[in-house]
Amino acid sequence: MRLAYLCNLYPAVSHSFIRREIEAIEDAGHDVHRFSIRPPRSDLKDAADRREAEHTEIILGQGLVHLFLSALALFIAHPLRGLKSMAAAVLLSGPGLQQKVRHVAYWFEAAWLARRVEQLRVEHLHAHFGTNPAAVALIARAWGGPPFSFTAHGPDEFDAPVALSLAAKTEAASFVAAISSYGRSQLMRWSAPVHWPKIRVVRCGVDRDYLDPPVAAVAAQSTEFVCVARLSAQKGLPLLISACDRLRGSGERFSLTIIGGGEMRTELETEIARRNLAGTIGLAGVQTAAEIRAHLNRARAFVLPSFAEGLPVVIMEALALG
C-alpha cells in the first residue's frame, strides 16, 4: 500500500516509537510518506532522526501563501468538498474564538495535505495523536483525501475529550489505535458502542538494542538515578527535585541525571540552585539513544515523577535493560 503518516512534530527525540513503527511498515513492503505539521527541532541528535527529517514534508514549511492558494484552487475545483470540509472544521472546533481560529488554520493545512497525498496516490493516512493531527486528517478526508486513522496516546486526548472532539474523530476514522488497554477503555468511554470494534490496541515497542543482547545487572553499589523526560510541567520534575532535597537531608549520598530538553529548563535550574543541589542534580539536555542507554546501564534506578502519561516508552526501555 501507499501510506502516509501525519504528526504535529516529526521527527522528535520523544517520538522514536513513531519512527520504529514506520520502519516496520516499510519492512513489510509498504510505501510510507511522512508529513509533519511543524518543522522538527534543529538539535536532533540521533542520525536516524536526522535521516527521517530529510524525508519528511513540513506542512507549515510550505508558507502561508502556498497554503492559501492550495485551499483556493481546491475550493474552485471542488466547491462542495470545500463546504463539506468547512462544516467538518466547524464541527471539530467547539465553542470559543480561539478554537475557531485554530481550526481555520487546520482547514488550510488539510487542503494542502489533501492535494499532496492525491499527487502521491496515497491510499490511507494515519495520524499520531488524537489532537491536531487527527483533526487535520479528518478535514483532509472531507476535502476528498484518503480514509484516515489515528493513534491516541494520552493523556492529552483523555484530559479534554470533549474539547478535542474525540467522539467525532473516532466516528470518522477507519480505525483508532490505542497504546494500552486503558487507552482503549477511554476511547470507548467517549464514543458510541457501535464504533468500539474499530478501536484496537497497538502497543509501542522498544529498539532491539534494548533487548538483544541481554544486559548484565546494574552494580548494587551504584548511587546514580536517571530520569529521561521532557522538561515540561506534565512530568512533575519539581517534585523530583524536592524529593532529592529530602533524600540529601537524610544523609544519603547519591546523584541524579535528568536527560531531556524543554521549556522548563531555566525554571528547573533556578530551583536546583535555590536548594543548593547543583552538585547532586545534573541537567544533561537532549542525548542520543546510545547515550541514554549508557546512562541507564550504569544507574541504580530509573525514576519518572510524571503527573500524566499514556504508556511511557522510556519506562519500557528501562525495564528491558533490567
Same-domain check for residues 50 and 166: yes
The residue segments making up the domain with residue 180 are: 2-201
35-46 pLDDT per residue, tens:
999 999 887 888
Same-domain check for residues 228 and 121: no
- Cα–Cα distance for residue pair 38/54, rounded to 1 Å: 14
- Cα–Cα distance for residue pair 109/114, rounded to 1 Å: 9
Q: What is the CATH number of the domain that holds 157?
A: 3.40.50
Residue 286 phi, psi dihedral angles, 5° rounding:
-75, 135
Q: What is the CATH number of the domain that holds 276?
A: 3.40.50.2000
Domain boundary among 166, 201, 236: 201
pLDDT above 80 (res 212): no
Same-domain check for residues 169 and 227: no
Overall domain count for the chain: 2
143-155 pLDDT per residue, tens:
999 999 999 998 8
Same-domain check for residues 142 and 284: no
Same-domain check for residues 194 and 248: no
- Cα–Cα distance for residue pair 181/184, rounded to 1 Å: 5
Contact 258, 288 (CB under 8 A): no
Sheet arrangement for strand 224-228: 281-285, 255-259, 224-228, 301-302
Same-domain check for residues 50 and 184: yes
Contact 238, 271 (CB under 8 A): yes
Same-domain check for residues 239 and 97: no
Task: Give mean pLDDT, residues 275-291.
Answer: 93
Same-domain check for residues 32 and 170: yes
User: According to the model, what pLDDT value does residue 219 have?
Assistant: 64
Same-domain check for residues 102 and 123: yes
174-186 pLDDT per residue, tens:
999 999 999 999 9
Same-domain check for residues 169 and 34: yes
The dihedral through the CA atoms of 79, 32, 149, 228 has a sign that is negative
* Closest listed residue to residue 201, CA positions, set 219, 226, 183: 183
Under 8 Å CB-to-CB from 270, ≥6 apart: which residues? Answer: none
- Give the number of other CB atoms < 10 A from CB of residue 236: 16
